[in-house]
Amino acid sequence: MARQERPGRRMARERGWWPAHRFLVLRRLTQASVLGLFLLGPLAGWWIVKGNLASSLTLGVLPLSDPYLLVQSLAAGHAVGVTAWVGALIVLSAYLLLGGRVYCAWVCPINAVTDTAAWLRRRLGITHTAKFSRSTRYWLLAATLAMALVTGSLAWEWVNPVSIVFRSLVFGIGLAWGVIVAIFLFDLLVARRGWCSHLCPMGAFYSLPGHLALLRVNAGGRERCDDCMDCYAVCPEPQVISPALKPRDESASAVIRSAQCTNCARCIDVCSQDVFAFGSRFVATEPTRDRHKREIAP
């Protein structure tokens, strides 16, 4: 193997474990908190949030709904439900600010499963992968809506592993363990980042608001890049990095504009050269960590 060190190791060695894992830990905390909030009711009797990610009610006043479900519902011929539409608009506005696929990296429970599969893939040195287009998910998205239209029901929700897993964790697991194991094995043995980055129509749907989303990762410190390739190794959507990090035209924006970027910020974590940082979609901010001290110091 060409690689001497696993991705992120150098960062951890030079700067410590926390800076090399902080966004990863924050994401896991966020995912666990979302699930925990929903579980507080059934487990402890504290009803802060009711429902599940499909539709929920927080503190008895804030309705939130999954816009993807409502679009399916619309395709299936059901248009009413004011509460649900208000909730969906709130969710959509949030993702327009934070980046559409923030859902994938920071909320979705499947993310931890597929991240683990990708990590184990690297550890075990599994390089074989089935090859299919990353645009498959958009075709699947279209297919799920077409099926809703044809069957007049939310057909995809019979099999949607994302909603099944979250609902099962909150309302009773049933056979949903099988779904989790299946996705894990698929990502581990069949295709690298197969589910989240190639197939999932839900991720495809949430990438759509990502085309306009305000919060974006940028490669503002790209002149410091020393080609260690760690960011490409950990990124679930590595194709989004190049246009910002290695543009053909050097004056091109350093902002990662691709809607497929999940804002997971793992690249910020692993980069020992502090190339990446969060910023707005319009301005590439310079990363503001303590790197300059380090660089200046002898």
Partner 1 sequence: MTARKPEPSGSKGEARHAPAAPARRRFLARMAGTACGAALVGMGVGLYSRSAAPLAPHALRPPGALAEADFLSACVRCGLCVRDCPFDTLRLAELGDPAAPTGTPYFVAREIPCEMCDPIYCVEACPTEALDPALTDIDEARMGLAVVVDQETCLAFQGLRCEVCFNVCPVRGEAITLEQRHNLRTGQHSQFVPVVHSTACTGCGKCEHACITEEAAIKVLPLSLAKGGLGEHYRFGLDEKERAGESLLAPDEQHRYHLPEGVDYQLDDGGLMPRGEPPAEPYGDDALDTLNRGLESGDG
Residues within the interface to partner 1 (CB under 8 A): 41, 47, 50-52, 54-57, 63, 65-66, 69-70, 73, 76-78, 80-84, 87, 132-133, 135-136, 139-140, 142-144, 146-148, 150-159, 163-164, 167-168, 170-176, 178-179
Question: Of the two residues 16 and 42, which places its CB atom closer to partner 1 in the complex?
Answer: 42
Residue with smaller CB distance to partner 1, 170 or 265: 170
Length of the chain: 298
Count CA within 13 A, CB hemisphere, residue 128.
3
Nearer to partner 1 among residue 29 and residue 150 (C-beta): 150
Nearer to partner 1, 136 or 285 (CB): 136
Of residues 69 and 213, the one with the C-beta less far from partner 1: 69
Closest approach, Cβ 27 to partner 1, in A, equals 24
Residue 86 or 225 having the CB closest to partner 1:
86
| Among 279, 278, 275, 270, CA closest to 291 | 275
Task: Output the smallest distance, CB 60 to partner 1, in A.
Answer: 10
Q: How far is CA 26 from the centre of its chain?
A: 13
- Report the nearest approach of partner 1 to the CB of residue 41 (Å): 7
**Shortest separation between residue 182's beta carbon and partner 1, angstroms:** 12
Distances (CA, A) of 241 to 79, 173, 231: 39, 37, 8
Q: Which is nearer to partner 1, 168 or 273 (CB)?
A: 168
- Assess contact for 252 and 191: CB atoms under 8 A: no
Min dist. Cβ of residue 249 to partner 1 (A): 23
- Supply the minimum distance, in Å, between the C-beta of residue 196 and partner 1: 16
* Shortest CB 224 distance to partner 1, Å: 36
